[in-house]
A and B are shown apart, each in its own frame.
Chain A
Amino acid sequence: EIVMTQSPATLSVSPGERATLSCRASQSVRSNLAWYQQEPGQAPRVLIYDASTRATGIPARFSGSGSGTEFTLTISSLQSEDFAVYYCQQYSNWPLTFGGGTKVEIK
């Protein structure tokens, strides 16, 4: 099983600042990685797929990078609606696995 490790667990950021979230895979997943955002009481929604492609309707302030085992989600200037929990997920191998999540909270 590929273990996905996200860091930090919690990120305190002021509105307008930049946020950088990390995701590490225990073995290479190539570019088969997605980032999801989840707000309280809601289903997750995809932000980034194939490591760096923004999903339809996702603002340009969200960007993804990396390949292999190291990945980054960057939010260039945090807006109020961006305070949420973010998960990475690999879809390279069965079983599909998620990281433990990073909560982005208001500083």
Chain B
Amino acid sequence: EVLLLESGGGLVQPGGSLRLSCAASGFTFSDYHMSWVRQAPGKGLEWVSAISGSGDSTYYADSVKGRFSISRDNFKNTLFLQMNSLRAEDMAVYYCAKRVRPAGGHFEYWGQGTLVTVSS
């Protein structure tokens, strides 16, 4: 059974930093692209970032480019999102998600999300 478990969310002040983690199990983690998708309160879904299975390739939404950094530890089957210079508009539930194919297709599995609150 595929499981994705996010952690690391919490309250942070504007301009602060936070590191999210996603522990994965039930599949060969290193084979798959992984993504972060967020959802602001009462709003829709926004893809944030993705990383290839090897970690060599990374992708970012314009809204987070230069502030967020995605990485992974394939020995620990864990995905990370380092978030710096946080803004009020970054407040959201952050989901990690696995695509159906190693480098493409729809999001087959989602975690339950971790809430990031940006407020002074």
Which positions in A face B, CB cutoff 8 Å?
A: 1, 34, 36, 38, 43-46, 49-50, 87, 89, 91, 94-101
Contacts and interface: CB of A to CB of B under 8 A. Distances in A.
Nearest to B104: A91
B47 to A, nearest CB: 4
Contacts of A50: 106
A33 B58 CA distance: 22
A11 to B, nearest CB: 15
A44 B45 CA distance: 9
A44 B106 contact: no
B71 interface: no
B26 interface: no
A52 B104 CA distance: 17
A9 to B, nearest CB: 10
B35 interface: yes
20 contacts: A34-B106, A36-B45, A38-B45, A43-B111, A43-B112, A44-B45, A44-B107, A45-B110, A49-B100, A49-B105, A50-B106, A87-B45, A89-B45, A89-B47, A91-B99, A94-B50, A95-B59, A95-B60, A98-B44, A100-B44
Interface string B15-47: 000000000000000000001000000001111
B95 A43 contact: yes
Contact of B105 (A38, A45, A91, A99): A91
A87 B107 contact: no
